[in-house]
Chain A
Amino acid sequence: MATLSRTPSATAPTPSPAGPPRRVGFSQRLSRWDVKVSPYLYISPFFILFAITGLFPLAYTAFVSVHEWNLLGGQGDFVGLANYADVLAQPTFWRSLVNTFSIFVFSAFPQLALALLIAALLDQNLRSATFWRMGVLVPYVVAPVAVSMIFGRLFADQYGLINELLGLVGLDPIAWHGDRVASHVAIASIVNYRWTGYNALILLAAMQAVPRELYEAAVIDGASRVRQFFSVTVPQIRATVIFVVITATIGNLQIFDEVRMFDAQGLGGPSRNWMTTVLYLYDVAWGNQKNFGRAAAVAWMLFLLIVVIGALNYFLTRRISTSAPDRPARARRRRGGGTDDTAGATVSAVTRARPGAPPPGTSGAGHPPTVPIPPEER
């Protein structure tokens, strides 16, 4: 592998013969300077802009959180940890944390199961495979706020389609906006609508990297399709499953869009039944309290929570994937790019979730897709 630090000498033998010696010296020095400085120059826009718009605000959140600070009044006195004490004493804060976790549980597991099923269906030798793959991805391009508006209507307490369907099979209508758990299920389904197909495609990519020999062996051993799925496919794509779960976790802890639009007031219902922590943060900062100090305390605590859970996930994952049998590299290479020639499948989901890989995460303000992503803002 050539190193580029050698290239200045490579360019040296080709100076213009007519040029005066001093110019050669100058252009040579220029070229060396070019080689030395360029790498830093090229990465600097990212680092500078990311520092300004990403890291600095996060760090400064800690500063704001120990001051009295209002939307209108601006910075006030240093108050130490008083904002944290205030927030921790608010029942709504705790309620929002419980809601967040509850919605996470209701979305993560059904979503993973459905995504696995859809991926398994797509992993057949389908006619017009691209059509089906695009089809399951349609919800991804619908904005979460739009999905939330539509589902808010589908899950309407009166004359909502879901309740009508329940009536058809003889069940009582459910108070999707009144009952706390029911509202979490409805909101989780909003999240799932958008991200299930997306995750199915990630899992599909992993499934296609499973060496076909394993299935052939399973067939010879007389394994049924279902048995093949649970005994060959699932163990082989374990790393990717974990990756999907982690991104889902990080995203789901930051749910905002879905709950903001679930009713007309957008503050989590009359009893704050579906107020999530990020929505609570928004309400403290820009809603009734207009208290930046307290909101910053909420943000900082949520940040630490996410980091802790992310780290926990990461170490857990390392454990699980290092103890898992390693997939033969040969097979991965052979089938890895098998999905689409244009994919340039260099960063396969499998690769990203391998033991040595860093903890994946969402890149921030996008919703994390939650769910898995999520949230883009999730």
Chain B
Amino acid sequence: MKILIVEDETGLRDSIEAYFTGGDSICETASDFTSALAKVSVYRYDCIILDLTLPHGNGLNIVKHLKENNHNDGVLIISAKDSLDDRLMGLDLGADDYLTKPFHLSELKSRVTAIVRRRSFNGSNNLKFNEIEIDLDAKAVKVKDIIVKFTRKEYSLLLYFIANKGKVVSKSAIAEHLWGDSIDIADNFDFIYSHIKNIRKKLVEAGGNDYIQAAYGMGYKFTDA
């Protein structure tokens, strides 16, 4: 997938670029409003990761520009402002999602993947990873055509891992993804392990492979390597 990262903070832009590059993804970057506008006027992207507060202009105007020109690139707004006004305006203008800074790169990746998947909708909204097949509409998981029952949190975690396959996902990121940021995350570290244990067990019992590796006590990595 082709992604444009519009972010003026160099450190953050580089990190996002490094995280997204590789696999089947190509990344381009823009550090201010003008260059971002120039890029979206010429090229099409599967998803644009867009910061709102940019030098020389407001990111919302880029969303407006896309809509006025009937470009349906996916747009994910990332902003330090957690204001509902901005969120609603962004989504009203046609953005697909809104993520408040600070965020984990894995969360960003999972949101971007979801946007791209929704946009490349081709008849069936199914996600396949080797022998695992997920019906995103019915939220049903099949392993080798056998339906495996997952709890809500396990299902969400499995999708999260697949979106971040090959990457080490930290426990903090997992906890924040599963429990949200209004709950003290440190309380939940112990429960991550039991959820992962359950996912592994269910996948293996259905005849699938164990793709989840523990990563040096820091987090987990979903990989078929």
B is a partner of A = no
